[in-house]
Amino acid sequence: MNDNPTSRDFLSRLPLTLIYKEYGGFEKLNILDKGLTMEDAPTGSDPEVGDIGYFAPWKDVNIYYSDWNYSKGLIKLGRIESGLEEFTKKLKDMHDDFTVTIQKMN
């Protein structure tokens, strides 16, 4: 995870169980009930395969399985670091909604 206020806010809410769905042919997303802080956040970012982001206008936490264009309001929370190729292939091939539990590792 990146070291920024938005990422720290997300981490403070863990563990979370989220339902992800397909969006746009480049990402999976989940819309949070309550938005994350935007304190000191950049105006946007240019996501790449494996990035985990927060799109403030919709309050969604997303995982990118394809590169995408610069998006205003998108904050990079972190990145998938291990098994990226296999992970992104599985994400791309999943067409139904799925549930993920995200928790901190010791």
- pLDDT reported for residue 68: 96
If one looks up domain 5-96 in CATH, what number appears? 2.40.100.20
Q: How far is C-alpha 38 from the chain's CA centre?
A: 15
- pLDDT of 44 > 90? The answer is yes
- 12 has pLDDT over 90: yes
Which letter, b or e, does each residue of 77-101 get, where b requires 16 or more Cβ atoms within 10 Å of its Cβ? bbbbeeeeeeebeebeeeeeeeeee
Contact of 23 with 29, CB cutoff 8 Å: yes
**pLDDT at 50 (0 to 100):** 96
pLDDT tops 80 at residue 106: no
Cα distance from N-terminal residue to C-terminal residue, the chain? 14
Q: Does residue 77 contact residue 52 with C-beta atoms inside 8 Å?
A: yes
pTM of the predicted protein model: 0.93
Region 64-89 average pLDDT: 95
pLDDT(73) > 80: yes
Domain residue spans of the chain: 5-96
